Amino acid sequence: MKRKEKSLRADRRNKIKENSLLDRIYDIVNYIILFLYAFICIYPFYYIFINTISNNKISESGGVIFYPKGIHLQNYIDAFRIPGLGQATLVSLSRTVLGTALTVVTAAFLGYMFTRESMFKRKLWYRIVVITMYFNAGIIPWYLTMMNLGLTNNFLGYILPTIISPFYIILTKTYIESTPKEIQEAAECDGAKVLTIFFRIMLPICKPILATVAIFAAVGHWNSFQDTLLLMTQEKYYTLQFLLYRYLQSSQSLSSIVNATAGSSEAMLANAQTQTSIRMTVTIIVALPIILVYPFFQRFFSKGIMLGAVKG
């Protein structure tokens, strides 16, 4: 019996050692794969950044790959001399803040109302909203509609068409359906009306999904340039992304303009703007605000998107 017990204990120890060895191998392989994936995701942005602070001649020849060479910040100083950059930044910030706020409030309110059985013909209205996700008239009818509504060369052309988004409404509605109905029923028993329940009870509960919607809406507004291309002909309504689009199309002429306004000192001539430096510097300037904002919403993102996508 003692021999059997000893052999069983030995077998268990061997299994534990084998399992621990397999676990270590799995962890090492897993870390390597995750590191490579993270590197693939981060490196393009890192590559663009190190090229913006490197010697422009070296960068133009492709000599900057893993670390900067001839570090300087002249590219960013010169970038702010680009005509119209300040106005475009203001337009982009304004449309992002205002558009995101209205989209979030609208998605939250309609998502809440579509969960209330007392809403008149709520299933019909919900289907009408959802069907627009699958069918649209196309760009030309859309443009004609915007023109007839007076939204060409109008800042509201950035805001009004994006206020109601079926995808965000579905996310919010599904999230609200996952919350206990007893909360709303208790508030109704205390005499609370629809708006009171929405603003004082449902909005605080829906913070995770609203933060998720805010991220999606903000990124969409900040990155949008097609609506500017189709609707706006006056430069005062140009967005930062549209300027980036134009500059990427004419980076050679833009680099000449920047070099002409930068001066002619020896240091400036050594870091004269090129097509590559213009493209990469403007790309960093455009992408940086969203990158800085995202970490503040990230803690809500996973919870919000999971609970908003799957009921319960």
User: Model confidence over 22-58: pLDDT tens digits?
Assistant: 777 888 888 899 899 988 888 888 888 888 888 777 7
The residue with greater pLDDT, 115 or 6, is 115
Fold (topology level) of 74-309: MetI-like fold (1.10.3720)
Mean pLDDT of the chain: 77
pLDDT exceeds cutoff 80 at 15: no
User: Model confidence over 59-69: pLDDT tens digits?
Assistant: 777 777 887 87
Reported confidence tier of residue 309, pLDDT bands at 50, 70, 90: very low
Instruction: Give the DSSP per-residue string, the chain.
Output: -HHHHHHHHHHHHHHHHHHHHHHHHHHHHHHHHHHHHHHHHHHHHHHHHHHHTS-HHHHHTT--SSS-SS---HHHHHHTTSTTHHHHHHHHHHHHHHHHHHHHHHHHHHHHHTT-TTSTTHHHHHHHHHHTTT----HHHHHHHHHHTT-TT-THHHHGGGS--HHHHHHHHHHHHTS-HHHHHHHHHTT--HHHHIIIIIHHHTHHHHHHHHHHHHHHHHH--HHHHHH--SGGG--HHHHHHHHHHSHHHHHHHHHHHH---HHHHHT---HHHHHHHHHHHHHHHHHHHHHHHHHHHHHHHHHHHS--
pLDDT exceeds cutoff 70 at 145: yes
Residues 6+ apart with CB under 8 A from 255: 272, 273, 274, 275, 277, 278
User: Model confidence over 165-224: pLDDT tens digits?
Assistant: 888 888 888 888 887 777 777 877 877 787 888 888 888 888 888 888 888 888 888 888
Range name among 129-133, 154-158, 249-253 with the lowest pLDDT average: 249-253
Residues 6+ apart with CB under 8 A from 48: 280, 283, 284
pLDDT of residue 103: 92
Maximum Cα–Cα distance for the chain, whole Å? 94
pLDDT exceeds cutoff 70 at 6: no
Residue 59 contacts residue 51 (beta carbons within 8 Å): yes
**Domain extents for the chain?**
2-52, 74-309
Reported confidence tier of residue 98, pLDDT bands at 50, 70, 90: very high
pLDDT of residue 25: 81
Residues 6+ apart with CB under 8 A from 49: 280, 284
Reported confidence tier of residue 311, pLDDT bands at 50, 70, 90: very low
